[in-house]
C-alpha cells in the first residue's frame, strides 16, 4: 500500500496515472466481487482508500495553486 507521504512526493502526472490504475483495479475488484468470490476482500477497501488519498492530494495541490494565483494577481 502506498502511503500519503509517498504520494505527495509524486508529480501531478504520476498521481494521475496512479489514480487511473487504481480506479481500473477497483472496477475489476467490484466486478469480481459480484460474479465470484474475492481472494482478499480487504483489497476493495485498500483501493477505495488509495483513490481517496490521491484525490485529496490533488485537491490540496489545486487549492495551493489557486491561493498562489490570487496572491500574484493582488
Of the two residues 69 and 16, the one the predictor is more confident about is: 16
Tell me the longest C-alpha to C-alpha distance in the chain: 58
**44 to 6, 12, 23, 48, 73: CA distances (angstroms):** 21, 24, 11, 6, 44
Q: Is 36 helix (H, G, I), strand (E, B) or coil?
A: coil
Q: What is the pTM of this model?
A: 0.88
Task: State the pLDDT confidence band at 1, using cuts at 50, 70 and 90.
Answer: confident
What's the pLDDT tens digit per position in 12-59?
A: 999 999 999 999 999 999 999 999 888 899 999 999 999 999 999 999
pLDDT of residue 2 exceeding 70: yes
Amino acid at each position: 500500500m502506498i502511503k500519503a507521504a509517498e504520494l505527495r512526493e509524486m508529480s501531478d502526472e504520476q498521481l494521475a496515472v496512479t489514480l487511473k490504475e487504481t480506479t481500473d483495479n477497483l472496477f475489476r475488484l467490484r466486478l469480481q466481487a459480484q460474479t465470484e468470490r474475492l481472494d482478499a476482500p480487504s483489497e476493495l477497501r485498500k483501493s477505495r482508500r488509495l483513490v481517496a488519498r490521491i484525490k485529496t492530494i490533488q485537491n490540496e495541490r489545486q487549492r495551493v495553486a489557486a491561493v498562489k494565483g490570487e496572491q500574484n494577481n493582488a
